[in-house]
Amino acid sequence: MDLLGHYGSSDEESGDIQYKQPVSLSMISINAAPDTGFHDADPTALYTAPTATELTVNVPYHDMMRPTLGPENPFSERKLATQNIITGHVQQEAISEMDFRTQHRTFESYGYARDPSINSANLVGHTGQGMLGTGYVGNLAAAAELGGATVFDRLPKHQRPNKDLRKRRERKGDSSVLEGDNAYKGPWAGYEGDGIGEPSGLEPELQEEVQMAMHPTKTTNKLVVHVAGTETTVFHGESEHDYLGRTYMAVPQDVDVNLLGEPGTQDCFIPKRCIHTWEGHAKGVSAIRFLPKSAHILLSAGMDNKLKIWDVYHDRSLLRTMTGHTKAVRDIAFSNDGTRFLSSSYDRYVKLWDTETGQCIRSFSTGKVPYCVTFNPEEDKQHVFLAGCSDKKIVQFDINTGEITQEYDQHLGAVNSITFVDENRRFITTSDDKTMRAWEFDIPVVIKYIAEPDMYSMPAVTLSPNKKWLACQSLDNQIVVYGARDRFRINRKKRFAGHLIAGYACKPGFSADGRFVSSGDSNGNVWVWDWKTCKILKKFKAHDKVVMNTEWHPHESSKMATCSWDGKIKYWD
């Protein structure tokens, strides 16, 4: 490098050549042959590889136990050179299936087994194999006593492990004695201690208790349960009566809508915005229903065990709260005139309430959870209601007497919905058994059984305004349509899909004129389809959780109420 400084210019015109001074460079010293510690190696010693499994020459003991030459790898976690598992080294051994089964059964029976790493079963001469160099593992005393015999080797009787466990056969008895100690048993004689022929079971006292529990005495069909003081009601307004003595049941006359007119007489439109939100339930809202005919008040059932009545017009305030259920309320149903309504709850009770006063009139229970309730829509049968229960039955109650007047028990799963069709002479039920069944009212015989291999459970059903079709919410994320007349056949041309409701009983809704079909979904959206074309017309975000109901106002042209598990009820226009 120093010689490079002596090079000058090659120009011939330059007379004097001036040499540059040498530049001293500080270099880093690099040792190309570091000390690896091999100077301690003995050239006469025999070195073996750590992974060697065979030795061709005799190596002295001190040479075999020498440490491994060379530096250790600081980044390796292996502790052994031949390590093949995380904790060490496992050496594979070949053993036949029959030999393994033999030694396994020998160990289970005698308590010892031959070490599989050796080829013979001698008790001596196998140093380092088995326990204490015997060639066996387990109970060495038993192995020495039995001579290492397996379960397939025949042993003398005095050496057999089960010599004391052999059962003694009972006597055949005297053929002339039929009963008693020496009764004839012949070839059917058992062994001592096996309990054959001896009476077994519960004691007589416990047997009586079990029989009473299995066959209770039916003294009456009245399953009405009155618990005084458990149902309460609270009115939240200033006064229950106005200056004319009217309650909130009176139809308001100061609104621009004819609330006593015929529903569906004017064309409906899809709602665009939320105009009001009712908040009052501490938990989710499972169902909402408008008051029949006028629809000026709204009834809601909550998972906070409460029932609430809301004002739809004027200030849209909370009018009344009714408590009495001890668990979440599942379903509600108004009577035809709206003066009474039913509520079914997970506390296994169906309660009849007065809409005006909020008082509980009666409580009904079958001991099972009522999933759905509905009145008979006939005017002369308003004292009869049906309840679909978790024990696969539809129970028919008489409100006046409190008795069960009929039971329909053909379903194979919990009953989810009950819908009256065909001028209220028949009703349709759906169940968790993925079937739909049609019944004649008050006759517990199925007149139509609908079940297909591709059918899913349909937990919510809604009757169309013209009473001709049934919109069934199927758990395969679609709404299927069945005819509500005699044959109850599926309409393959009507199928509303696009939403996600799997696992939820979201009830479909119809507009008052029947032009639109609506439904909530599990993401809090509301979907609206056109009835004729089955096309999606609108989808909008309504709630934070699953939307259970979409109820169209029967007299307003574009108003809809929705309820959700987020505890809110929203009114859309």
446 versus 80: the higher-pLDDT residue is 446
Widest Cα–Cα separation across the chain: 154
- Mean pLDDT, to the nearest integer, of 8-25? 51
Residue 9 clears pLDDT 60, i.e. is over it: no
CA dist 263 and 259 (Å) reads: 9
Q: Which are the contacts of 231, defined by CB distance < 8 A and separation ≥ 6?
A: 322, 323, 324, 351, 359, 360
Q: pTM for the complete prediction?
A: 0.62
Per-residue pLDDT at 61:
81
Q: What is the 3-state secondary structure (H, E, C) of 197-255?
A: CCCCCCCHHHHHHHHHHHCCCCCCCECECCCCCCCEEEECCCCCCCCCCCCCCCCCCCC
| 233 to 91, 348, 356, 563: CA distances (angstroms) | 79, 20, 11, 22
Residue 181: CB atoms within 10 A of its CB come to 8
CA dist 69 and 272 (Å) reads: 84
- Model pLDDT for residues 147-197, shown as the tens digit of each residue: 888 888 888 877 776 666 555 677 888 888 888 788 888 888 777 766 665
Select, from the ranges 27-41, 81-95, 213-227, 410-424, the one with the highest average predicted confidence (pLDDT).
Answer: 410-424
CA dist 446 and 266 (Å) reads: 39
Residue 249 clears pLDDT 60, i.e. is over it: yes
Residue given tokens 């169906």 in the structure block: 350
Per-residue pLDDT at 204:
65
Residue 24 clears pLDDT 70, i.e. is over it: no
CA dist 479 and 498 (Å) reads: 10
- Model pLDDT for residues 312-371, shown as the tens digit of each residue: 998 999 999 999 999 999 999 999 999 999 999 999 999 999 999 999 999 999 999 999
- Model pLDDT for residues 487-499, shown as the tens digit of each residue: 899 999 999 999 9
User: Quick one: pLDDT band at residue 218, thresholds 50, 70, 90?
Assistant: very low
- Mean pLDDT, to the nearest integer, of 119-147? 69
Average pLDDT score, the chain: 84
- Model pLDDT for residues 31-82, shown as the tens digit of each residue: 776 666 555 667 777 777 777 777 788 888 888 777 776 666 777 776 677 7
DSSP, collapsed to helix, strand or coil, labels residue 129 as coil
- Mean pLDDT, to the nearest integer, of 214-237? 62
- Model pLDDT for residues 279-315, shown as the tens digit of each residue: 999 999 999 999 998 999 999 999 999 999 999 998 9
- Mean pLDDT, to the nearest integer, of 468-484? 94
Q: What's the one-letter identity of residue 22?
A: P
Q: Which residues of 344-369 are buried (b: 16+ CB within 10 A; e: fewer)?
A: bbbbbbbbbbebbebebebbbebebb
- Mean pLDDT, to the nearest integer, of 105-127? 69
User: Quick one: pLDDT band at residue 210, thresholds 50, 70, 90?
Assistant: low
Instruction: For the chain, give the number of residues.
Output: 573
Chain-centroid distance of CA 234 in Å reads 37
Select, from the ranges 40-44, 248-252, 371-375, the one with the highest average predicted confidence (pLDDT).
Answer: 371-375
Residue 229 clears pLDDT 70, i.e. is over it: no
Q: What is the 3-state secondary structure (H, E, C) of 86-105?
A: CCECCCCCCCCHHHHHHHHH
Structural contact between residues 411 and 437, judged by C-beta atoms closer than 8 angstroms? yes
Phi and psi at residue 572, to the nearest 5°: -115, 150
Give the end-to-end CA distance of the chain in Å, rounded to a whole number.
Answer: 92
CB hemisphere CA count around 92 (13 angstroms): 3
Phi and psi at residue 515, to the nearest 5°: -80, -25
